[in-house]
């Protein structure tokens, strides 16, 4: 018998390369709130309702604003000159108080018709029902014991490469949609 080894060498498996990083758009906004103060000095006192206001100022391919919200988007949406955001406004709270006007960007799409269709499915509750049917229990920030849907907005933006200069220190606000 010769000293040869008849076992096959296993080929090394090389893991596939990681997917490219997702594309992102950056939403500039300004926000303010009123209310939400404690109603007494007691440790677990209730708070007055808080009301949140938000103004969306820009949508760009590059970040640059302090108040920027990054949104993961498809290649199609990233390449579009005009993008439509579906923004859900909702109330939230706990045993001690509530906040109104909370917001989340639910979708970013390339057509107004698609944005309106998504907004309608949120408003009529069919989006929640379809997701729960497909995936079981699903979290939506506007559903829950203390939470509730206040409204759905569609915002259309011309997408800029860079966010606009912040001129708010001079008392001028620029809105580009």
Mean pLDDT (whole number) for 67-72: 83
List of residues 6+ apart from 39 with CB closer than 8 A: 45, 46, 47, 48
Query: Above 80 in pLDDT, residue 174?
Result: no
Query: Above 70 in pLDDT, residue 86?
Result: yes
**What is d(CA 119, CA 114) in angstroms, rounded to the nearest whole number?**
9
Q: Are 44 and 95 in contact (CB under 8 A)?
A: no
pTM: 0.80
How many Cβ atoms from other residues are within 10 Å of residue 128's Cβ?
Answer: 16
List of residues 6+ apart from 151 with CB closer than 8 A: 88, 89
Report pLDDT for 166: 63
**What is d(CA 66, CA 116) in angstroms, rounded to the nearest whole number?**
29
More confident residue, 162 or 173: 162
Report pLDDT for 167: 55
Domain ranges of the chain: 23-38+45-167
Confidence of residue 8 (pLDDT cuts 50, 70, 90): low
More confident residue, 15 or 158: 158
Report pLDDT for 152: 97
Mean pLDDT (whole number) for 64-92: 90
């Amino acid at each position: 018998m010769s000293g040869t080894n008849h076992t096959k060498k296993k080929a090394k498996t090389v893991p596939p390369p990681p997917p490219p990083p997702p594309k992102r758009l950056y939403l500039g906004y300004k926000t303010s709130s009123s209310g939400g103060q404690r109603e007494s000095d007691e440790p677990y006192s209730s708070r007055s309702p808080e009301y949140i206001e938000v103004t969306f100022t820009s949508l760009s391919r590059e970040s640059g604003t302090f108040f920027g919200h990054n949104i993961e988007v498809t290649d199609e949406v990233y390449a579009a000159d005009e993008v439509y955001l579906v923004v859900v406004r909702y109330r939230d709270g706990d045993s001690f108080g509530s906040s109104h006007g909370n917001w989340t960007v639910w979708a970013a799409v390339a057509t107004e018709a698609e944005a309106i269709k998504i907004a309608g499915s949120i408003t009529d509750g069919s989006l929640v029902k379809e997701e729960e049917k497909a995936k079981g229990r699903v979290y939506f920030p506007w559903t829950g014991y203390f939470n509730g849907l206040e409204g759905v907005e569609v915002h259309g933006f011309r997408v800029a490469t860079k966010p606009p200069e912040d001129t708010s220190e001079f008392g001028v606000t620029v809105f580009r949609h």
